[in-house]
Structures are given as structure tokens and as C-alpha cells.
Amino acid sequence: MALDVGSAEVARVLRDVARLGQFFEIGIGAGGPGWEPFPGEAARLVAMTEDYAVRLKTRERRVAGSLVFQGLAARIWSPVVAAGARGVVPDLGALRWYWAPGEAIAFRLDEPSGWRVGDAAEAAALIHPMVVDGLLKPLRDVLSTIAGLAEGLVWGNAAAALAGSLNVGAPDPARRAVVREVLAREPLAAAGGFGPEGYVRRSCCLYYRVPGGGMCGDCSLLKRDHSFRNVR
């Protein structure tokens, strides 16, 4: 599908969704030194994983790597899904990012463009391959080398980050519809499902192994009704 939404409109939609919170922010325009294509060089992800390990007080690199992946996935899913729910899917093919120890993660598009979509299914058909194949699989490849992350954990984290984006902001049926459409596609569909108590994943992000940590609300290790409903 050809790009059919210009820079001004995509920038307007991204500014609109950024009002939901920090996890929904994608900046517009050229950045300064330190910005690189996502996921970029392994050195940055190594440093980030080590920084997370120190701050979480864990010696397990896979725990820190797991939480790095989940946090980055949440930062990618949140704005693109919220924008898709408003009828415009930004093209993240040229997504760039910045991080340094002690500084916040930031994302940016130099010259935004995108696609106009009519419903949740159209939005999901664009968002899923762009994010899963174009961004998260390369991120998985690097972090799996660094931290030895299992495949099930990776896609459980990606699915949990996507479902968790609905917990920010007022209830939004359009955003929820896009999330459910994306979650219905592999490898996310195999990662969990919606039950009586909300979304439940089939794997664990390992946060319980952080000193003072616990189990997340969607954790498979919690005792609950695991009779999943179809994510659609």
C-alpha cells in the first residue's frame, strides 16, 4: 500500500496521541548527536541492559534484558496503535531513537509519513508486520545474543506491552479494537489471551526475580481462571 498521508497530518496525529503520556511520544524533526536507527548498534543495548541490571539490583542479565525488551516494545506499540485508532498509521521504517545512562528513552521521525486506514483490521494489517518484523524481531535478535532470551518470553513481552498500552488514558473502543486485531496475529496470538480478569500471558517476563519485585497483573504464574477467550 502506497504512503498516502503527508508529514503535516502525521505530525498532527502524533502530537495528539503524545498527550496520552510519555510512552506515546514520537518526536518530529532531525535530532542532534546520539540519535541512531532502531534498534541500532548492539553497544547501546548492551549498555542499557547493564544499566537496567544495576538499577534493578539483579545479577541476571536475562532478567534485565527481558525488561529492556518489554519497555522498548511498549514505547513502540503505544503511539502507533493510538495513531492507527485515529485513522492514520505512521510509517516507522525510519524510526530513530536516543538513550544514554541517566536519560530517558526517546524516539523520533525526521520526516513523518503514513497511511490512512478505515478500520481496526486495516490498521492492524499495516502495524503488525511493520512493528513485529521490522522493529521487534531485529531487537529480539540483538537482545537474545546479549541476554539469552527465550522465544516465548520475547513474544509474551511484546504481547503484554501491547495489551498494557490500553491501561493508559481513558477507555477507547477504537484503540482497543486495534490492539485486539494485532494480538490475533502470530506470534502474538500464541502468547496469551483475554480471560475473565483481562489479558493473561502464557509466559513470564521474569520481573519476580528482581529483588523486591513481584508478579505482574497479567502473569501466567498467578493462580486464576486461564480459560482464554479469543483475542478478537
The answer to the question of residue 136 being in a domain is yes
Looking at the domain assignment, is residue 140 inside a domain? Answer: yes
Q: Is the bond into 211 cis (omega within 30 degrees of 0)? A: no
DSSP character for 189?
Answer: G
- 230 has pLDDT over 60: no
Judged against a pLDDT cut of 90, whether residue 93 lies above it is answered with yes
Cβ pair 88, 118 in contact under 8 A: no
Structural domain harbouring 68: 7-191
2 in any annotated domain: no
The whole-number pLDDT of residue 221 equals: 60
pLDDT at 117 over 90: yes
Residue 185 lies in a domain: yes
Confidence of residue 215 (pLDDT cuts 50, 70, 90): low
Degrees (nearest 5) of the Cα angle 3, 74, 164?
115
With a CB cutoff of 8 Å and minimum separation 6, the contacts of 107 are 25, 26, 27, 38, 75, 76, 79, 95, 96, 97
- Quick check: is 225 in a domain? no
**211 in a domain, yes or no?**
no
Please indicate, yes or no, if residue 131 is contained in any of the structural domains: yes
What does the alpha-carbon distance between residue 50 and residue 67 come to, in Å, rounded to a whole number? Answer: 11
pLDDT computed for residue 222 by the predictor = 61
- If one counts the domains in the chain, the total is 1
Residue type at position 143: L
For the stretch 43-63, pLDDT in tens is 999 999 999 999 999 999 999
Amino acid at the residue 104:
A
pTM: 0.90
Q: Is residue 57 part of a domain?
A: yes
3-state class percentages of the chain: helix first, strand second, coil last, to nearest 5: 50, 10, 40
Residue 148: helix, strand or coil by DSSP?
A: coil
Dihedral angle sign, alpha carbons of residues 154, 160, 165, 168: negative
